[in-house]
Amino acid sequence: MSTSKIKWSKIFYFDGSGAIALIILICLLGSATLGALVPTLISKLAQSYDEEVIFYESIKQLLFLFMGVYVNRSIYQLAVNKYVKLLAQNVRSWCYEKWILSYEIQVGDTGHEEKYPQGEILSRIVNDTESLRELVTSGTFGIFIDLFFVISCMLSFIQINSVIGISLVVAQVFAAVVLVWGSKYMRTVFLSVRKARGNVYQTVANLVGGISETYYTNHENYASKKSEGVFDDYLGKILKSNIWDSGYYSVAESLYPLLLALVVLIFPYSHITQGAVILVIVDLIQRSIGPVKDIAGKIANVQRAASGVDRISEFITDLDKTISSPKEFTKREHDLDQMTVEIEEFSYPRRHEAEPGFSLENISFAAKKGELIGIVGISGCGKSTLLKILSGNLIPQKAEIKVLGTDGEKVIFPGSDFSDVTRYRELVGIVSQDSHIFSESIAFNICLCEEIPADFEKFWMWIEERIPYIKKTWGVNSASVLDQKSISLGQKQLLSAIRSCYLKKPIVLFDEISSGLDSALELALRKVILLIQEHSLTFIVAHRLETVIDSSKILVMNEGKLVDSGPHADLLERCSIYGEFLNELSHEAN
């Protein structure tokens, strides 16, 4: 999977990365400068054996040089550690952000709710980015500063003896290129191992959950046919990766004697007469062979990290094929006049031919501001699917929702492009038992911003006057910090409803009022619904008669179709399916 489509500059360059990158660059240049001094100082040391003052001065200079190398490398490693830590956090946040912005939106029959469940995504992001941290713990980044040091040593040695200097530079560059080129096959091998390991984890999870496709083996154990193939595939790929790893490193280990043989071969043509230069050559080979061997030793870590980057790229590219919610948008007012809904057809995909299909067909209705629209029907009739379309979370291919404002603004969903989807979703508020509540203040949970607007306290005082439950029974105020362990589902739904009231959403969708609430909390919720109704069009999916009996209009669903609509009294007289729904409610109550 090519990563060219991904804007990796957004990942690798983030707040605070510029200063760290500058420190790393300075350390690399410092390493090159120090490396350039080594051949001259070692040659000087070898030549001054008979002159005590110069000899000790040379040792002193080398001591300071290698102290500088140590300090420079320490600073480099600290900077790299800091950068990779921030990089891993940045990549994880970016991937999770991309997923969560696309998670709730399903276009036609494609979506991520089943393909990328939350638990799998968290595990995948952590595992694939952990390979970046392995580059630090394994010392892989040390290769780069060592290479800067050694290359500058070699270039400096060319000034002492051009024949051997150039020969060593060419030979070691060639060896490094061959090792790196050969490593691209290791990348493919490690990527296949990652995928095979993922299949094993998935299969184990399925086996733990229970799988029906099992057979009885000769060794008197039950096993999944699929799991046997998955495990065999994984073990085979692990064996292949081990062979590549060991063989690759063995080739790198043979470089030292090969380079010595090269020096012996070209020595007659170098015209070297000084023993000091020979000492420099041996020292140079010993210093240079380390980073080259490290390339072989650490290349496995590099390729594992590369395979992790490939999987991240594959994941992000797949998400980019579908629609995502914008991270930020400008809030715009909309004074709703009326709304019309026309759904010609929407079908869920079938996983296999034997699975019964489900679709919404020929649903058409209109509603106005201030109305309360109930949606009823027996289980499986399509209420939740209709609500998802009305919320903008499902984007059907054959449907059109028009929202007309009193100022003449017309919003059409799905419209011609995603800007129309975004605009429509801005108009909709959702209140459900699953509405998310943060462990923050009530003010934050209602405003959803860190800086509480100036008008909020006025709104909160207005709410407290109309909903006595908040202050007298619940005993909280706008500054109260919520505890997830103590707050009930009904209280979550109440806060979510107050949030929609504060945000003044023109269209508010209620996914049923929680059952089993105490009378005071249920009364508070119903009062909030009435407050919302004053300035919004309100829809409510009902599983209880008292929820919709006073609705302006009730939509009766059956097998994906809108079979009737109207007030409760009219439907009671003419709609048999509505009667069946009421009978089902009475049986559940009993």
- Transcribe 536-584 into DSSP letters: SEEEEE-SSHHHHTT-SEEEEEETTEEEEEE-HHHHHHH-HHHHHHHHH
As beta bridge partners, residue 375 has 541, 555
Query: Which residue do the tokens 């595939």 mark?
Result: 233
Whether the pLDDT of residue 57 is over 70: the answer is yes
Q: Which amino acid is at 567?
A: P
Average pLDDT taken over every residue of the chain: 73
Residue 392, pLDDT > 80, answer: yes
Q: What is the mean pLDDT of residues 128-139?
A: 69
Query: What pLDDT does 354 receive?
Result: 59
The whole-angstrom separation of Cα 164 and Cα 347 is 74
Give the range among 271-280, 391-400, 409-418, 510-519 with minimum mean pLDDT.
Answer: 271-280
Tell me, what's the pLDDT at 29?
92
Q: What average pLDDT does this structure show over 355-380? A: 83
Q: Would you say residue 23 has pLDDT above 90? A: yes
Q: Is the pLDDT of residue 110 over 60?
A: no
The SS3 assignment for 497 reads helix
Half-sphere exposure of 407 (CA within 13 A, CB side): 6
pLDDT reported for residue 273: 47
Phi-psi region of 16 (alpha: psi -120 to 50; beta: other; left: phi over 0): left
- List own/partner pairs for 139-145 with CB under 8 A and 24 or more apart: 139/298, 140/298, 140/301, 140/302, 141/77, 141/80, 141/84, 142/73, 142/77, 142/294, 143/291, 143/294, 143/295, 143/298, 144/28, 145/27, 145/28, 145/31, 145/72, 145/73, 145/76
Q: Is the dihedral of CA 373, 379, 384, 385 positive or negative?
A: negative
Q: Is the pLDDT of residue 7 over 60?
A: no
- In sequence order, what DSSP letters do the residues of 403-443 get, joined into one string? EEETTS-EEEES-SSHHHHHHHHHTEEEE-TT----SSBHH
Taking residues 46-69, what's their average pLDDT? 78
% of the chain residues with pLDDT over 90: 2
pLDDT band at 75 (very low <50, low <70, confident <90, very high): very high
364 and 342 Cβ atoms separated by less than 8 Å? yes
Residue of 169, 453, 187 whose CA lies nearest to 301: 187
Q: What's the mean pLDDT in 245-262?
A: 60
Domain chopping of the chain, boundaries: 9-320, 336-589
Phi, psi of 448 (to 5 degrees): 55, 45
The whole-number pLDDT of residue 282 equals 60
**Does residue 389 carry a pLDDT above 90?**
no
pLDDT of 214 over the 50 cut: no
Which residues, 6+ apart, have CB-to-CB distance to 484 below 8 Å?
437, 439
Phi, psi dihedral angles at 356 (to 5 degrees): -70, 140
pLDDT interval class at 218 (50, 70, 90) = very low
**Considering only 139-153, 270-284, 476-490, 549-563, which range has the smallest mean pLDDT?**
270-284
Are 87 and 12 in contact, with CB atoms under 8 Å apart? yes
When mean pLDDT is compared over 158-162, 231-235, 312-316, the highest value belongs to 231-235
Where do we find the tokens 């934050």?
Answer: 444
* Mean pLDDT within 128-136: 70
Query: Which range, of 113-127, 214-228, 446-460, averages the lowest pLDDT?
Result: 214-228
> pTM score, two decimals?
0.58
Mean pLDDT (whole number) for 482-511: 83
Rounded to whole angstroms, what are the CA distances from 448 to 140, 417, 425, 502, 533?
43, 27, 16, 11, 22
For residues 233-244, average pLDDT: 74
Amino acid, res. 390: L
pLDDT at 73 over 70: yes
Average pLDDT over residues 363-383: 86
pLDDT at site 288? 58
Confidence of residue 211 (pLDDT cuts 50, 70, 90): very low
pLDDT at 26 over 80: yes
pLDDT computed for residue 276 by the predictor: 46
Instruction: Please determine, for residue 465, whether its predicted confidence score (pLDDT) is greater than 80.
Output: yes
Per the CATH hierarchy, to which homologous superfamily does domain 336-589 belong? P-loop containing nucleotide triphosphate hydrolases (3.40.50.300)
Mean predicted confidence (pLDDT) in 165-194: 67
9-320 CATH fold? ABC transporter transmembrane region fold (1.20.1560)
Average pLDDT over residues 76-87: 86
Q: Is the pLDDT of residue 314 over 80?
A: no
pLDDT of residue 180: 62
